[in-house]
Amino acid sequence: MNALIPQDRYLTVNGLQLHYLEWGSKNTQPMILLHGFMAHAHVWDGFAAKFCSRYHVIAIDHRGHGESQWSMEGAYTLDDHFSDIALFIDTLQLENAILIGHSMGGRHALFYNVCLPHKVDRLILIDTRPADQLESSQALRQLLTTFPLEARTLGEVVRAILSLYPYLTKKICYHIAKHGYKRRRYGNYVPRYDIRMCQQSEHTVFSVEDLWPFLDNVTSPVLLIRGEESPFLSSEVAHQMLRSLPRAELVEIPASTHLPIQENPAASLKAIATFLNDQWH
């Protein structure tokens, strides 16, 4: 068995079947990966391959994303996701976890850490906005309008991804598209995520809950990672987060926008390994 190839797993929480990917030994420290809005667990494949020999790596498909079940009621609030993550971690009896979240996943990770700090060893937030900002709301609007709701080929999806993230390689774009879209019987491709989430976001004018009041209560060591050219998280806001979090450090990744882990993996992985005091790099 190739240790770099994840095992597909399923777990039912809150009446929904959640899909997750698992690498490494259960006897090592858990590292839980939470993807961003409209994404999926496979965006972490390359990242997980670098850490799975030393950690028990788990990447979750959030409800309504990837291979996880959609909510019949369209329940996709911060509280809904928090409840899923909390029950998921409790059911698998994961302790002392390294919690890593990108964008929306970072917001979920932050909220979980505040509510259940004893469960988290370290927290890594990747291009995560704590609240509304005009530029980030506009960037989310562009994201939603750029990704096609129907495509004749995966190549169309790849071109859309590259238009938003020019630092990505085509290989990574195809990997993201392949796991993010599914082919219908008549041949066209549609997203795996529940498009009602996009409609809900549009209805709220692309706003998010304000997490600023919670930052002071994060007791775990925190690494903030920002893409230097990110439209979602400005350098100014990132530095405000740095000042608000009691035990935080900030690394801005060059040659990257909103997906620094995938756009500049060498610099991102080095920053994370340094934060974790991991000697592999």
Beta strands in 148-192 (DSSP E): 181-183, 189-191
Residue-range domain boundaries for the chain: 7-133+210-275
User: How many other C-beta atoms can be found within 10 angstroms of the C-beta atom of residue 183?
Assistant: 12
Region 129-148: mean pLDDT is 94
| Model confidence at 281: pLDDT above 50 | no
The CATH number of domain 7-133+210-275 is 3.40.50.1820: yes
> Are the C-beta atoms of residues 220 and 248 closer than 8 Å to each other?
no
Residue with tokens 């979090």, as numbered in its chain:
245
pLDDT, tens only, 110-131: 999 999 999 999 999 999 999 9
The lowest-confidence range among 132-136, 175-179, 259-263 is 132-136
pLDDT score, position 187? 87
CA distance linking residue 260 with residue 251, whole number of Å: 11
Closest by Cα among 33, 42, 55, 32 to 5: 42
Averaged pLDDT score across all residues of the chain? 96
- For residue 278, pLDDT over 80 is answered with no
DSSP string, 96-142: SEEEEEETHHHHHHHHHHHH-GGGEEEEEEES--SS--HHHHHHHHH
Instruction: Kindly report the pTM of this predicted structure.
Output: 0.97
What whole-number distance in Å separates Cα of residue 75 and Cα of residue 117?
25
Tens-digit pLDDT profile for residues 205-222: 999 999 999 999 999 999
Cβ contacts of 204 within 8 Å, gap of 6 or more: none
- Based on C-alpha coordinates, what's the Rg of the chain? 17
| Cα gap 91→9, rounded to integer Å | 13
Cα distances (angstroms) measured from residue 217 to each of 96, 174, 211, 244, 259: 18, 40, 11, 9, 27
- Is the separation of the CB atoms in 223 and 251 below 8 Å? yes
* pLDDT of 279: 55
Query: Does the structure show a pLDDT above 60 at 84?
Result: yes
User: Virtual CA dihedral for 103, 108, 111, 116, nearest 10 degrees?
Assistant: -140
Asked if 47 and 269 touch (Cβ cutoff 8 Å), the reply is: yes
Could you give the 3-state DSSP secondary structure of residue 100?
A: strand
Q: What is the pLDDT of residues 226-250, one digit of tens each?
A: 999 999 999 999 999 999 999 999 9
Task: Dump pLDDT digits (tens) for 1-10.
Answer: 566 889 999 9
Tokens of 54: 């030393």
Assess whether pLDDT exceeds 70 at residue 144: yes
Q: How far is CA 26 from the centre of its chain?
A: 22
Mean pLDDT, rounded, for 58-75: 98
pLDDT, residue 185, reads 79
Please report the sign of the dihedral spanned by the C-alpha atoms of residue 222, residue 225, residue 230, residue 235. positive
Given a cut of 60, whether residue 271 has pLDDT beyond it is: yes
**pLDDT value of position 2:** 67
